[in-house]
Amino acid sequence: MSTLTKVLERNVSQIEKNANMKEGRFRLGHHLMPPVGWLNDPNGLCWYKGRYHVFFQYAPFDVEGGLKFWGHYTSENLLDWKYEGTALYPDSSYDCHGVYSGSSLIDQDKMHLFFTGNVKIDGDYDYINEGRETSTLHVESEDGIHFSDKEEVISFEKYPEDFTCHIRDPKVWKENDRYKMVLGGRLKEDKGAVLVYESEDLRDWKLERVITTPEVFGYMWECPDYFELDGQKFLSVSPQGLSREEYRFQNIYQSGYFPMKEDGSVDVNDFREWDMGFDFYAPQTFTDNKGRRLLIGWMGMPDADEEYVNKTIDEGWQHCLTVPRELTVRDGKILQAPAKELEGLRKEKTVLHDEKSIVEIRVEVNEGFDLVLDEIVMTGSSFKISMGGQMIFKYEDGVAEIGFSGIAGAGRSKRKAKIGELKNIRLLADTSAAEIYLNDGETVFSTRYYPDCEDLQLKILGGKFKGNLWNLRKMIFTK
Ligand code: FRU
């Protein structure tokens, strides 16, 4: 281990030890969060030798971001998590300005991590067309905890000429005995695209093709992912630079997927956003030993701080990941549902009787709760779930909406989605994060929220339904 790595390691563990996170009112019960400082994208998600591994972009020294490391959680059951500390440090000449996002590949009993090393050259550069040297790096491991030295597998000099310096976030998979990689990129004409590479040995990578849309669909595509589900191929990307619309692309940046056509092309008209809430970006998927495809997203949004913020900054940390969501396909659309294991957090159940026009019940937001409303039949023109008047879900005329009043949204206003009929809702509410799944997860809203009290009055009005509510135990986090 180099002296630099030792110094970084000592300082990160010191700052993690000194951070008194127990006091934080908004610390989460069933969402993964950083031990201290900042978290962004999920990285290297996999099931390996009996455990789930969730790595994440981690800036332990600065709650507002900055120099990126890879933090690391493991779990056998998706409920009880062990914090394994920092897996990758920005300690080489390839990644001294950040160990950026990437993925894992399990092959012949080894875990391989592929990621982007970020290097910014000092000088008067625009850092788009020049000034940045981002290469694709690789490490491997036999236990998922200790990693080999970093090796560069695609140098920044080898990327195609028609791309800017913005190429990053490798996602790797195996297909017919060959290895494939997608990288997100920005073409010189300010157009988002995905680069597809191929390799026979995981070390020598050749560019196979570039995927983009005929018309410009954002200037940059970050964090690509490729997978097959139910016989259909999908390409997921996080585009930057789309214009905001009333019912789509409401955030500064987006994340969504294209079903791929037979010839491997994608069409802007087929793009579907993963999530319609305020806080969702850069998701990654993986398959586990049960053959499920699970997705985890970053419950945050880059560069959103002029509009809305996170009150956890005062507690010395920022952002979390979504719960693992199982993906299935229905009528060409991907449905997302919290992984079944999360039902293991449920404590007492309350059956909600909807004979009255308003169902009211006190809920503990400092514990978290899981609300399921099935077979919804509207009795009025709108259907509402109000969380103490602070966060409100509303459905009317085929449009679902989340909104806030007072300080609970910390600047968050409204987000909407056209969903057709409303059939069912699942609301997973944590101390300061909520995920709302509509119509079996065909539409999802993820948002942070900051209630000003520890328990509040949940009110459901405007419909009949079969309802159940559970208080949740907190996940266990150990070090
Ligand atoms: C997405 C992203 C990635 C990059 C990482 C850096 O949120 O910008 O493209 O690798 O974050 O933290």
How would DSSP label each residue in 351-391? EEP-SSSEEEEEEETTT-EEEEEEEEEESSSEEEEEETTTE
Helix or strand holding residue 460 (H, E): strand 455-461
The per-residue b/e assignment along 268-281, b for 16 or more CB within 10 angstroms, e otherwise, is eeebbbbbbbbbbb
* 98 Cα to the center of ligand 1, angstroms: 10
Ligand 1 atom nearest the C-alpha of 59 is 12
End-to-end CA distance of the chain: 22
DSSP-derived secondary structure letter, 177: T
Whether residue 68 has its Cβ less than 6 Å from ligand 1: yes
DSSP-derived secondary structure letter, 438: E
What is the fold, at CATH topology level, of the domain defined by 3-338? Tachylectin-2; Chain A (2.115.10)
Ligand 1 atom nearest the C-alpha of 68 is 12
* 41 Cα to the center of ligand 1, angstroms: 7
- Residue 465: the pLDDT is 94
C-alpha distances (whole Å) from 230 to each of 84, 102, 114, 327, 367 are 34, 25, 27, 10, 37
In the numeric block, which tokens belong to residue 393? 């879900």
- Residue 22: the pLDDT is 74
Whether residue 92 has its Cβ less than 6 Å from ligand 1: no
Q: In what order do the strands lie in the sheet with 110-117?
A: 99-107, 110-117, 135-141, 151-154
* 440 Cα to the center of ligand 1, angstroms: 30
* 296 Cα to the center of ligand 1, angstroms: 15
C-alpha distances (whole Å) from 176 to each of 21, 173, 211 are 47, 10, 21
Whether residue 95 has its Cβ less than 6 Å from ligand 1: no
Ligand 1 atom nearest the C-alpha of 41 is 7
Q: Are 142 and 110 in contact (CB under 8 A)?
A: yes
Q: What gap in Å lies between CA 323 and CA 333, rounded to an integer?
A: 20
C-alpha distances (whole Å) from 387 to each of 85, 300, 403, 417, 427 are 36, 21, 11, 20, 11
| DSSP per position, 73-137 | EEESSSSEEEEEEEEE-S-STTSTT-EEEEEEEEETTEEEEEEEEP-B-SSS--SSSSSB--EEE
Whether residue 40 has its Cβ less than 6 Å from ligand 1: yes
Q: Are 358 and 460 in contact (CB under 8 A)?
A: yes
* 271 Cα to the center of ligand 1, angstroms: 21
Is the Cα dihedral 146, 474, 442, 186 positive or negative?
negative
Q: What gap in Å lies between CA 439 and CA 434, rounded to an integer?
A: 17
Q: What is the pTM of this model?
A: 0.98
- Residue 1: the pLDDT is 85
- What are the structural domain ranges in the chain? 3-338, 341-478
DSSP reduced 3-state for 201: coil
In the numeric block, which tokens belong to residue 92? 């080489």
Q: Are 361 and 354 in contact (CB under 8 A)?
A: no
* 101 Cα to the center of ligand 1, angstroms: 6
Measuring CA to CA, which residue among 138, 60, 140, 38 is closest to residue 92? 138
Q: Which of 64, 128, 168, 281 should be mutated for ligand 1, with most atoms under 8 A from CB? A: 168
Whether residue 57 has its Cβ less than 6 Å from ligand 1: yes
* 432 Cα to the center of ligand 1, angstroms: 23
DSSP reduced 3-state for 315: helix
In the numeric block, which tokens belong to residue 411? 């600047």
Query: pLDDT 10s digit of each residue in the chain, 479 long?
Result: 899 999 999 999 999 998 877 779 999 999 999 999 999 999 999 999 999 999 999 999 999 999 999 999 999 999 999 999 999 999 999 999 999 999 999 999 999 999 999 999 999 999 999 999 999 999 999 999 999 999 999 999 999 999 999 999 999 999 999 999 999 999 999 999 999 999 999 999 999 999 999 999 999 999 999 999 999 999 999 999 999 999 999 999 999 999 999 999 999 999 999 999 999 999 999 999 999 999 999 999 999 999 999 999 999 999 999 999 999 999 999 999 999 999 999 999 999 987 777 888 999 888 899 999 999 999 989 999 999 999 999 999 999 999 998 899 999 999 999 999 999 999 999 999 999 999 999 999 999 999 998 889 999 999 999 999 999 999 988 88
Ligand 1 atom nearest the C-alpha of 169 is 10
Q: What gap in Å lies between CA 14 and CA 424, rounded to an integer?
A: 46
Q: Which of 61, 222, 279 should be mutated for ligand 1, with most atoms under 8 A from CB? A: 222
DSSP-derived secondary structure letter, 452: S
In the numeric block, which tokens belong to residue 14? 């010191």
- Is 41 assigned a catalytic role? yes
Whether residue 116 has its Cβ less than 6 Å from ligand 1: yes
428 burial (CB, 10 Å; 0-12 / 13-18 / 19+) is: buried
CATH 2.60.120.560 fits 341-478, yes or no: yes
Catalytic option among 41, 95, 279, 370: 41
Whether residue 240 has its Cβ less than 6 Å from ligand 1: no
Whether residue 41 has its Cβ less than 6 Å from ligand 1: yes
Q: What gap in Å lies between CA 325 and CA 89, rounded to an integer?
A: 28
- Residue 476: the pLDDT is 86
**What beta strand segments (E) does 20-68 contain?**
37-48, 51-59
